[in-house]
Amino acid sequence: MAVAITLTTSCDSDDDLPVSQPIQVNTFCYGDQTTNFETIGAFREEPQVGGGTGVLSEVTVYGDGLQLNDMEELEGAGVLMQISFYGNSLDDFQTGLYQIATTEEPADASLSYILDYDTAGMFNTSIALESGFIRVETYQTGYAITVDGIDVNGDELHGIYLGNVALLQ
């Protein structure tokens, strides 16, 4: 009788809990979503007054093969994402949700990516996003930049850059 009560009041095993996939950071998927590229660093320039009413903060996210030299110039070859954020303050890089748009108003952003960027090359072909969103959040000493958009080819681009965004001097 004691065994029967124990069996009916014991908890189910934790083995039946749903398994969730870990969130991948510094990896961006594009095209057919089986193709991806990894990023290893990012830098930004001082905010400046943009063409519209927004304050422009330019951020460059780069992949393996690219690096900043001692003169804060990019060198090498690899994947590159250039993001223009339009905020409403010259004080600092602003967090929040940005809509991908070309109006250069506060809370707008534009992003283009180059899969084979070469600093020695004269012509680097970029692919621009036409729609979607980019979220910027602080994370420890850096930022989490989450991209979810559709490029000019109709392909999705999504991923999260997680790390420091160095300010160029």
> 100-140, pLDDT tens digit by residue?
999 999 999 999 999 999 999 888 999 999 999 999 999 99
Rounded to whole angstroms, the Cα distance separating 72 from 166 reads 10
pTM, entire model:
0.84
pLDDT value of residue 24: 80
> 44-66, pLDDT tens digit by residue?
999 998 777 889 999 999 999 99
- Which residues are paired to 159 by β-bridges? 28, 147
Residue 135: C-alpha distances to residues 5, 11, 86 (Å): 52, 41, 12
